[in-house]
Structure 1
Amino acid sequence: MKHRTEDLALFGGPPAFLHNRRVGRPNQGDRARFLERMNRVLDNEWLSNMGPLMYEFEERVAQLVGVRHCVSLCNATVALQMLVGDATTGGAPDDEVIVPALTFPATAHAVRWRGLRPVVCDVNPVTGLIDPDAVEALITPRTRAIVGVHLWGQPCDVLRLEKIAESNGLRLFFDAAPALGCTHGDRPLGGFGHAEVFSFHATKVVNAFEGGAIVTDDDALAARMRAVRNFGFGPDGLVELLGTNGKLSEAAAAMGLTSLDALEDNIAHNRAMYEAYLAALSGVPGVRVLEYDPQHRNNHHYMMINVEEQGAGVHRDLLLEVLRAENILAQPYFRQAMHQLRPYADESPAPLPHAERLCGQLLALPTGPGVSTTDVEVIGDVVRAAVALSGEVTARRRTEPAGATGA
C-alpha cells in the first residue's frame, strides 16, 4: 500500500507493476489449435474469398446469438457503413441517422462516410446508453435510421427503440461491437432491430485479429449484405449492387474460431475480475464502479469506473496519470462525446450534458487474460491511495511541471 505521495510512481516511487497491466489485451485462445487451423488454410491454398473457415465462423456466431444469418466482414466499421447505405438507398445527402453521443467514433463516421448526417443524441446519465426519449425528440422528416450502441456490453432499451422505429417507419440497427455473449434478459444480443453489428477487433472478447459481422433474421437483407461485401456480385456471378471489398480472410476466421472456443472461459475470468474490483473499490469516495444490471448477462470485457472529482478530490485525468505511472494502463472512455469531435462539432444545436459529464469521469481499468485477482487488489490500493492523498497529489501536479518527477 502506498501511504505517501512520495510512494506514488508519479512522484518518484517504485511502480506497482514491473510490466504493464492494460485494457484490451487480446484473448488468443489455444495457440496450437490456431496453428492447426492455419496449417489447414495454407494446405488448402484458400486464403480469402469466402473460404470454409469463414463459413464455419459465421455459422458458429449465428448459433451463439440465435439468428439465421451472420455475414462476416473485415471489420465492424465496414459493417455499419453497409447497413447505413442499405437503409438510405435512393435518399438525399441531407438524410439523417440518429446515433448516441457516447460511442466510439466509428459509429458516426460510418454514417458520414455514406454522405449522410449523423444526428447526435444524449444518453442515460448513469449507464451512458442512448436515451429513447431524446431519440424521439430528434426525429424529423429527414430521419432514415436509428443506431443504438450496446455500450460496454450493456443492452440498450431495445424494446422501446423498436417501438419508436416501427411507429416512425425507420430502420433500426444496433452497434453491438463489444457485446458478443451479452443478453437482454434471457435473449442474446444480436437479434434485435433490423440487424446488429459485432466487432472482432484484436481488443474484443472474441477477436479475429481484425473483423466484424452483421447478424440478422432478415433473409433479404442478409443476401444484399453478402453481395455488397463482395463488390456487389450476386449468386449468379453478375454485379447486382454497388459493393465494396469487405471479406473476412481465412487467417482472421481461424483466429476468430480459436477465440470463440475460449469465450466462456474468458467471460468467467472477466466476471471474477469484476467481482474482485467491486470488493477492491468498495467505499472509495467519489469512485463508483459501473455495475451491470443483473437481469442481463454481460461479458464483463470492460471494467468501468466513474470518477467524480468533487467526491474523490482528484480529477479522472489526474487519476489516469497516477495509474499509468504505476504501469496500470487504464483508458478514458471517452475524452470527448461524439458531438464534440471536430467533424461534428459545428452541427450540434445544443449541449448534451449527460454525455459531456460522463466523458470527463469514465475510466476503464485493466481486465482480461493478463490480469489476476492479486493485480486487482494492487490496482485498488493505488486508486485508494490517490484518493486518500488527493489534496497533495493535485497540489503537487499543479506546481511540478510534467516530467519533473520522472514519471
Structure 2
Amino acid sequence: MRILYFLMAACALNAQTSLPSLIDSAQKNGRIESYAHQSSAAKLGYDAAKYSYFPRIDGFGNASFVDHTGGFDAKQTYSAGFRGEFIVYDGSRRENLLDQNKALENAAQHTLYGAKKELSLDVIQRYFELQNTRDEIKTYRTMSEQLEGQLERLEMFKRAGLASEDALMRLRSEVSNARYGIEDLEYRAERQKRELETITNQTITELESSEVLPPQEVQMQELDKLNALKYTRDAKVHEAKQKDASNLPTIKLEDQYSFYDYKNDPIAQMRVDTQNKVIASLSMNLVDFSAASTAKQALMAQAQAQSSELAYAAKEVEHNRLLAGRYIERTRILIDSSEKTYDAATKTFDAVKKKYEARIVDYVTYLDALHTLTDATNQLSRAKRTLYYAYAAYYFYAGLDPKEFVR
C-alpha cells in the first residue's frame, strides 16, 4: 500500500496541466457561480410573474365574543370560508411585468454565457503568458551558463596575463545581470502561476503543450454582451409601460363562500349557516398629479441611456472584430520575421563563439551576439503563442467560446 501511495503521489506531481482542463475549471469558479445564481433568480422571477395570471384562493376564519348584546346580536359568532379572486383586467400591468421578467431572465443568461467566454479568453492569455515567461527563464539560464563558462575561461587568461581587468569585470557584470534577470522572471512566473490558480481553482505544475486552431469559415454571432444589454433595455421599457396601468381601470371578480355558527343568538331563526357571495369590482385612479406619467418618463430616459450604451458597445464590437482579423495577419508576419532573425542570430552566435574562443574577436562582440540570440529565441517563442491568442480573440469577437477550439 505504501508503494502504491508513493506511485500515485509521483504521478500527481508529474502530471501536466492542460489548457482545456484549466478553462473547464475556471468556468466553475466563484464568479461564474455568482452569475449562475443570478440567472436562476431571474428565472424564478419570471415564473413568479407567470403564476400571477392564475386565480388566488384564500381561506379565512374568525370568532367574536360580545359581553353586552343588543336586541339582534349573538353573544358568540363563528365564521370560516374560502375566497377566490381573479383579476380580469389590470391595464396590461401583469403582461408587461411578465415581459419585463422574461427580458431580465434572458439578460442574466447572456451575462452568464458571456462571462464564461471572457474567462476562456482570459485563461488562454494567462496560460500562454506563463509559458512565455518559463521559456524566457530557460533561455536566460542557458545564457547564464554560457557566461559563467566564459567567465571561468577568462579568469584563467587573466591569471596568465592574457586578459584585461576591464574585460573580466564586464563579464562578471553580465553574469550578475543574467542572475538578476532570472530572479525577476521567476518572480513574474510565480505571480502569473498564482493568478492562474486563483482563477481556475487548480494547482498548476507542468504546463502541457496546447494550441488554438486557426479560424476557417467562422460564422459571426451576436456577442452575449450586446444581447444582455438589449434585454436589459427591453426590461426597462416594459417596466415603464407598467406605469400606464395606473391610469387604466382594474376589473376583479371575487367569490366568497362562508360558514357561520352563532351561540346565544336571539334571532337564530333569521340567520343563515352558509353564504356564497360573488363580487365584481372596478377601480381606477382618477387623479395622481402626474406621478405615474413622470415615473414612466424617468424609466424611459433610463432605457434611452441603455440604448445609447448598446449602440456604443456595438461599434466597439465591430471595431474589435476588424482588429482581431488584422491581429492575426500582423502576428503571422512577426513570426516569419522572428524565424529569420532567430536563424541569423543562431548562425552568427555560433561563428562569433568560435572566433571569441580563438581570440579573434573581443568579448564585446561575443556578448552582443549572445544577447541577440537570447532575444531572438524569446521573440520567436512569444510570437508563436501570440498567434494562438490572436486566434482565440478572433473566436471571442465572433461570438463563440474560444474553449471549443483549443487542442
Q: Given the two structures, how large is their TM-score scaled by the length of structure 1? A: 0.19
Judging by fraction of residues, say which structure has more helix.
2
Query: Which TM-score applies when normalising by structure 2?
Result: 0.19
